[in-house]
């Protein structure tokens, strides 16, 4: 079975867990209304008597029927020959991992996406990877996708950056595919370990360029931070880190999610719904302040000196109107600019690019960015 195809058994289990969780929420709200208590809590509040028995039976039926369906669908999974997953399956699985990927990993679900290097939509084997990290002076470019996305999103636009870099500059291209619902810290740490395995040779190793869209830029920066701390040799071959619409100082939507969660917990009647707000993944929560180190201080500000000395960092920001941002990330956050200059990322004006009339997803394929990448990455 393809690693990208949605396993029917795992989907059935997730559906069963969702039904049970929703039953818990409805019962908690019911209990709060009929058995008022002082204070607020998002913990489950159970009903009593016949009403409580009804809710317990709903959970039992959902659990038993769900497990029966899992067994049947597990057999069907083995019969289905689908080596090539459909684009819809890939999109759904990537989106699901972005929203609850940390939960999927904790549960050992086959729906959780493992971190892999890919080319042409396929996992690159260790044997195929080995020549990339050895005996060559041709730079390797690693493209890192953002939240709820996957590696093939880089190739769906009219402007195809990987194709342009390969054909014009003869660079070698890899894509990272990962579970974007995991903590940015965990993904960055694992990426550093993977790169250390790929670029194990202390010499005769090609230059490495990391290009990250949105969350992908934070994963790249965390990998650099980890490599310096753990003295991973690959970081000595790092040439550039390029971020496209990366929320270096956070994203308002992620901050709004945290605010909503706090507001819902204020009263006993809205507290049960705070559990829905908490469902967002750790990866989404990390976007609140562009979190790169933990535990998170309050307020959190990223360390502007986390790239190795001599490594260029190039930041691209988009705006739909004026300097309001691309619909998800403000211009200042994407460019690493803080209202306190001492906290801003140390970037020269020539290493910043603003794209007008451009949305967050448009950054994946824009002619101005393609032109800039070709200029930035041309031999110096």
Domain shared by 324 and 239, yes or no: yes
Quick one: 229 and 332 in the same domain?
yes
The answer as to whether 80 is a domain residue is yes
CA 29 – CA 216 distance, rounded (Å) = 38
Number of domains present in the structure of the chain:
2
Long-range CB contacts (within 8 A, 24+) of 262-271: 264/42, 265/40, 265/41, 265/42, 266/40, 267/40, 268/32, 268/36, 268/37, 268/38, 268/39, 268/40, 268/41, 269/29, 269/32, 269/33, 270/40, 271/32, 271/40, 271/41, 271/42
Structure tokens at 305: 């000196």
* Full domain range(s) for residue 199: 116-251+287-376
- Residues 300 and 193 placed together within one structural domain of the fold: yes
pLDDT given for residue 13 in this prediction: 57
At 362 the pLDDT is 94
- Tell me: do 145 and 228 sit in the same domain: yes
Whether residue 105 lies inside any domain: the answer is no
Q: Do 177 and 306 reside in the same domain of the chain?
A: yes
Residues in contact with 252: Cβ distance below 8 Å, sequence separation at least 6, in sequence order: 328, 330
Q: Are residues 221 and 133 in the same domain?
A: yes
| Domain contains 312 | yes
**Given this model, what pLDDT does residue 133 score?**
64
Residue 106 lies in a domain: no
Torsion angles phi and psi, residue 19, rounded to 5:
-65, -45
* pLDDT tens-digit map of 273-310: 444 455 668 898 888 878 788 765 555 444 544 688 88
Q: Residues of the chain whose pLDDT is less than 70?
A: 1-85, 133-135, 201-204, 253-280, 295-306
Same domain membership, residue 293 and residue 193:
yes
What's the confidence (pLDDT) of residue 44? 54
Domain end marker among 68, 85, 102: 85
Residues 308 and 196 in one domain: yes
In a domain, 317, yes or no: yes
Q: Distance between CA atoms of 74 and 69, rounded to whole angstroms?
A: 8
What pLDDT is attached to residue 11?
A: 52
- pLDDT value at residue 27: 47
> Contact 313/243 with Cβ under 8 angstroms?
yes
CATH number of the domain encompassing residue 221 = 3.40.50.1820
Q: 39 and 143, same structural domain?
A: no
Domain assignment present for residue 70? The answer is yes
Do 122 and 67 share a structural domain?
no
Domain boundary among the residues 69, 85, 101 is at 85
Q: Would you state the pLDDT for residue 135? A: 61
Same domain, 57 and 188: no
Residue at 236 is within a domain? yes
pLDDT score of 310: 86
In a domain, 300, yes or no: yes
Residue 90: predicted pLDDT? 84
Q: Is residue 68 domain-shared with residue 123, that is, in the same domain? A: no
């Amino acid at each position: 079975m393809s690693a990208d195809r949605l396993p029917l058994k795992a989907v059935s289990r997730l559906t069963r867990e969702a039904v049970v969780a929703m039953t818990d929420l409805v019962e908690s709200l019911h209990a709060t209304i009929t058995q008022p208590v002082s204070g607020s809590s998002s913990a489950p509040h159970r009903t009593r008597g016949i009403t409580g028995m009804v809710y317990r039976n709903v959970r039992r039926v959902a659990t038993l029927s769900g497990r029966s369906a899992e067994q049947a669908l597990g057999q069907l999974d083995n019969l289905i020959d689908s080596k090539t997953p459909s684009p819809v399956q890939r999109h759904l699985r990537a989106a699901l991992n972005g929203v609850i990927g940390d939960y999927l990993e904790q549960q050992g679900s086959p729906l959780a996406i493992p971190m892999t290097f890919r080319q042409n939509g396929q996992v690159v084997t260790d044997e195929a990877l080995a020549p990339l990290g050895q005996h060559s002076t041709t730079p390797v470019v690693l493209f890192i996708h953002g939240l709820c996305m996957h590696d093939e999103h880089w190739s769906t636009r009219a402007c195809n950056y990987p194709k342009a870099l390969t054909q014009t500059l003869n660079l070698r291209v890899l894509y990272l595919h990962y579970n974007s619902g995991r903590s940015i810290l965990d993904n960055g740490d694992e990426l550093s370990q993977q790169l250390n395995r790929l670029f194990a040779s202390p010499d005769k190793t090609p230059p490495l360029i990391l290009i990250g869209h949105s969350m992908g830029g934070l994963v790249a920066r965390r990998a650099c931070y980890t490599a310096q701390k753990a003295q991973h040799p690959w970081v000595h071959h790092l040439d550039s880190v390029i971020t496209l619409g990366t929320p270096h100082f956070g994203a308002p939507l992620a901050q709004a999610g945290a605010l909503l969660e706090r507001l819902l917990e204020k009263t006993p009647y809205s507290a049960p719904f705070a559990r829905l707000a908490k469902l967002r993944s750790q990866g989404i929560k990390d976007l609140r302040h562009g979190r790169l180190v933990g535990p998170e201080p309050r307020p959190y500000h990223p360390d502007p000196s986390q790239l190795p000395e001599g490594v260029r960092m190039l930041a691209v920001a988009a705006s739909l109107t004026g300097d309001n941002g691309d619909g998800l990330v403000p211009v200042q956050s994407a460019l690493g600019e803080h209202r306190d200059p001492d906290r801003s990322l140390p970037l020269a004006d020539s290493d910043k690019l603003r794209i007008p009339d451009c949305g967050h997803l448009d950054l994946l394929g824009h002619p101005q960015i393609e032109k800039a990448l070709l200029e930035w990455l041309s031999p110096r």
